Every structure is written in structure tokens, then in C-alpha cells.
């Protein structure tokens, strides 16, 4: 299987546990903390459980996804972005890629990921895309464009539909520039 065989996915939220979380089992105590956080506890208590789970298993993707989802669904987008970036760096480490996504060339990506589990490769790409979407929602369009351009390099066949999102972001930049021009004249 190659990167070209990856299914089209929306973002970091779009995973099932059977293909992603293989890399290391979740310790029982950490699993209990995530379960407690997902029960109907007040937000502050749920967040505390998730942060404790993250402290106990800081590089576990299941924990990072749980914390990401918490922040995302609470519309705490900057915190969700911080966790998405942690997920990118953690996954890069597992894939033996440079920690900073900006430093990953298409050639390095193909070489390093050719023999890796595709669920993890897909998670890496989707984490970068999820971070780009969060940047868009936060109004950080230039940062989103940078991430989306990297994705189009790494996913040459556009299995993650990043090109369309990139075009949307570029149109937004054009519209903002046009609007700024009209405001000054």
C-alpha cells in the first residue's frame, strides 16, 4: 500500500481506533481517565482528566486525539491547534520524519513512509490538515496556506482533498487584499 491508496479523509477527528491506535496500548489508568472525561462531568473536571491522561501518556495518539476533540468541540480552537501540532510532532517521530512538518520533503516522506503502517501515515497527513483548518478558523490564513501547500506536496494525488481547501484559502487572501485596497482608496 502506498500514500496514493489512502482514503479521502476530512480531518484529525475522522478515525476509527482499529487502524490508528496500534502503536502502543493505552495503559488501563489512562483509559479510565479518558472514560471519566467522556462521561457527563463538568468541563473543568473532564479537562482535568484529559490533562492527567496526557501527563501519564504524553505521546499516545489516543490521548492526544481525546484532548483535541475536547478542545475542538468546546470551540477552544487555539488549544485544539496546540494539540494538533503535538500530534503532528509525535507522529513524525513514529514515522522517523523531521519533527517540524516544514522540513519534510516529498522524497523523504515517500521513503520513510513506504514501509510504515498506512493508518499512521494517514493520521500524520490528517493532523497537518486539521491544523490547517484550525488556522483558517482562527483567521491565520497564511499559516493555513503554508500547511496546505506542504500537504499538496506530500499527497500528490490529493487523496485528502487539500488542493480545494488551499484554493479556498488563497481566494480568501485575494478577497482580503481586494477589500483592503478598496478601503484605502
* Cα dihedral 25→56→28→93 (10° resolution): -10
Would you write out the chain's pLDDT as a tens digit for each of its 185 residues? 333 433 333 334 444 444 454 456 789 999 999 999 988 678 889 999 999 999 999 889 999 999 999 999 999 999 999 999 999 999 999 999 999 999 999 999 999 998 888 899 999 999 999 999 999 999 999 999 999 999 999 998 999 999 999 999 999 899 888 887 778 76
- Residue 23: the pLDDT is 59
Enumerate domains of the chain plus CATH numbers: 3-184 (1.25.40.10)
Number of Cβ within 10 Å of residue 184's Cβ equals 6
Amino acid at each position: 500500500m502506498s500514500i496514493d491508496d489512502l482514503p479521502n479523509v476530512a480531518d484529525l477527528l475522522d478515525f476509527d481506533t482499529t487502524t490508528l491506535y496500534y502503536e502502543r496500548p493505552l495503559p488501563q489508568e489512562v483509559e479510565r481517565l479518558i472514560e471519566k472525561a467522556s462521561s457527563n462531568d463538568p468541563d473543568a473536571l473532564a479537562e482535568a482528566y484529559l490533562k492527567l491522561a496526557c501527563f501519564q501518556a504524553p505521546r499516545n495518539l489516543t490521548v492526544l486525539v481525546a484532548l483535541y476533540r475536547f478542545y475542538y468541540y468546546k470551540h477552544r480552537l487555539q488549544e485544539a491547534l496546540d494539540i494538533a501540532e503535538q500530534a503532528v510532532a509525535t507522529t513524525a517521530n513514529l514515522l522517523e520524519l523531521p519533527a517540524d512538518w516544514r522540513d519534510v520533503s516529498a522524497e523523504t516522506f515517500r521513503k520513510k513512509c513506504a514501509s510504515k503502517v498506512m493508518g499512521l501515515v494517514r493520521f500524520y497527513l490528517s493532523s497537518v490538515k486539521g491544523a490547517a483548518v484550525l488556522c483558517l478558523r482562527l483567521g491565520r490564513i497564511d499559516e493555513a496556506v503554508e500547511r496546505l501547500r506542504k500537504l499538496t506536496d506530500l499527497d500528490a494525488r490529493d487523496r485528502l482533498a487539500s488542493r480545494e481547501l488551499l484554493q479556498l484559502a488563497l481566494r480568501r487572501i485575494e478577497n482580503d487584499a481586494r477589500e483592503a485596497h478598496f478601503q484605502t482608496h
